[in-house]
Amino acid sequence: MVDFQLDEEQEALRVTVRDFAREQVAPVIAEHYEHKTFPYEVIRQMGKMGLFGLPFPEESGGMGGDYFALCIALEELARVDSSVAVTLEAAVSLGAMPIHRFGTPEQKEQWLPRLCSGEALAAFGLTEPGTGSDAAGTQTRAVFDEATDEWVINGSKAFITNSGTDITCLVTVMAVTGTNPDGSKELSTIIVPSGTPGFTVAPGYSKVGWCASDTHELSFDDVRVPAANLLGERGRGFAQFLRILDEGRIAIAALSVGLAQGCVDESVRYAQQREAFGRPIGNYQAIQFMIADMEMRAHIARVGYYDAAARMLAGQDFKRYAAIAKLNASNAAMENSRWATQVHGGYGFMNESAVGRFYRDAKILEVGEGTSEVQRMLIARGLGL
């Protein structure tokens, strides 16, 4: 029998993160968002709760949970704020997960305990100024210097989350390391610790949304790291990152559902309090229908990411279902933020309102970790087209 109900342990996690988001994140996030500051105090609390270690084994310093547990936490955080949610998502599914999946025992021992505790963050260096969806177009290069047993990296990366905080410890960089027999680029991934000479983090971007998260352009000018910093097999970097992105799409779908559900939460609350023509606006059918459609979108999107996560954890082919979940959930987030702003009227257009932030945060969900167009390509390929 198909069961989309959370078990007792999962429900306890959901409630714990929900309460944390409402009691600790909600009161402070508007100020961080307005001033574009990183919420270090919130991140420290999340680390103490074990959220950064949710899907990792206990021997690595994690909580011994699974990827679905991470998704539950992301949804509940994003119901209140997406900047905090994406900080967790990028730190776990993009930052620490490549080391967990492909790292050597020595790399795992060196990096994972700090990453699982939230004391340090890692970033995922894929996107470049001239390459987004076309990851195979990577221009950053790494040349192996046999004399010093080091990789020498030159190039740049763009829009990299968690790459410039005071607690960022590394960036995993995809670079061209040679040429394959068929003439295509040989792509490998290499760990670059923060503070390595020649590794420069540009000032943070001025963004439309996710204003309390950390995003930078990175440059590498003759950056030298030991040969032991190669992550996984040489020439397998592209395949590794594709696996990480497939998983990450489920996480972004969960985050999108959280934003979509947050729009419902805020709209129901406002519709019960705001009066027009002598009655709460929630008594009017026009408002009721708007909110009913929002709840429908959030519910269907949640079922989609639950299904994709279940397939992944069962060891089944989940690529197409992850793309479906991400595409549908990001659409739901964008639509719900639009209608939540409509329900709130002029107040919804104010940046200090939750739905104002939701509206600004929603658009990037249709772009990050694969645009909506890329998701449609993946779905079509999965159907044999």
pLDDT average, residue stretch 346-358: 92
CATH architecture of the domain formed by 123-235: Beta Barrel (2.40)
Report the pLDDT value the prediction gives residue 351, as an integer from 0 to 100.
Answer: 84
Q: Could you report the per-residue pLDDT of 11-51, keeping only the tens digit for each?
A: 999 999 999 999 999 999 999 999 999 999 999 999 999 99
Mean pLDDT across the chain, nearest whole number?
95
Question: CB atoms < 10 A from the CB of 132, how many?
Answer: 17
Predicted local confidence at residue 4, as pLDDT: 82
pLDDT score of 130: 81
pLDDT greater than 80 at residue 134? no
Distances 12 to 6, 19, 47, 72, 306 between C-alpha atoms, Å: 9, 11, 18, 10, 17
Lowest-confidence segment of 1-10, 284-293, 311-320 by average pLDDT: 1-10
Name which of 74-88, 90-104, 130-144, 368-382 the model is least confident about. Answer: 130-144
The pLDDT, as a whole number, for residue 183 is 87
**Among 2.40.50.140, 3.30.470.20, 1.20.1440.230, 1.20.140.10, what is the CATH number of 239-382?**
1.20.140.10
What pLDDT shows up at residue 1? Answer: 42
Query: Active-site residue numbers?
Result: 369
Could you tell me the two tokens for 119?
Answer: 């004391």
Query: What percentage of the chain reaches a pLDDT higher than 70?
Result: 98
- β-partners of residue 189 are 174, 231
Q: Tell me the domain boundaries of the chain.
A: 8-121, 123-235, 239-382
Give the closest residue to 207 by CA, choosing from 82, 342, 27: 82
Mapping DSSP onto H, E and C, the string for the chain reads CCCCCCCHHHHHHHHHHHHHHHHHHHHHHHHHHHHCCCCHHHHHHHHHHCHHHCCCCHHHCCCCCCHHHHHHHHHHHHCCCHHHHHHHHHHHHHHHHHHHHHCCHHHHHHHHHHHHHCCCEEEEECCECCECCCHHHCCCEEEEECCCCEEEEEEEEEEEECCCCCCEEEEEEEEEEEECCCCCEEEEEEEEECCCCCEEECCCCCCCCCCCCCEEEEEEEEEEEEHHHEECCCCCHHHHHHHHHHHHHHHHHHHHHHHHHHHHHHHHHHHHHCEECCEEHHHCHHHHHHHHHHHHHHHHHHHHHHHHHHHHHCCCCCHHHHHHHHHHHHHHHHHHHHHHHHHHHHHHHCCCCHHHHHHHHHHHHHCCCCCHHHHHHHHHHHCCC
**Mean pLDDT across the stretch 52-56?**
97
Residue 133: pLDDT over 70? no
Query: What does the pLDDT average to over 233-250?
Result: 92
Average pLDDT over residues 73-100: 98
What angle, rounded to 10 degrees, do the helices at 67-78 and 285-313 form? Answer: 160
Q: List the beta bridge partners of residue 253.
A: none
Q: Which CATH superfamily is domain 8-121 in?
A: Acyl-CoA dehydrogenase/oxidase, N-terminal domain (1.10.540.10)
Q: Can you give the pLDDT at residue 135?
A: 67
Q: What is the dihedral of CA 342, 346, 350, 353, to 10 degrees?
A: -60
Whether the per-residue pLDDT at 132 is higher than 90: the answer is: no
- The string of pLDDT tens digits covering residues 174-209 is 999 999 999 889 999 999 999 999 999 999 999 999
How many C-beta atoms lie closer than 10 Å to residue 265's C-beta? 17
Pairing of strands 199-201, 275-276: unpaired
Q: Residue 14: which residues within 8 A CB-CB, separation 6 or more?
A: 6, 72, 73, 75, 76
Which residues have C-beta within 8 Å of that of residue 60, sequence separation ≥ 6? Answer: 53, 100, 108, 112, 113, 116
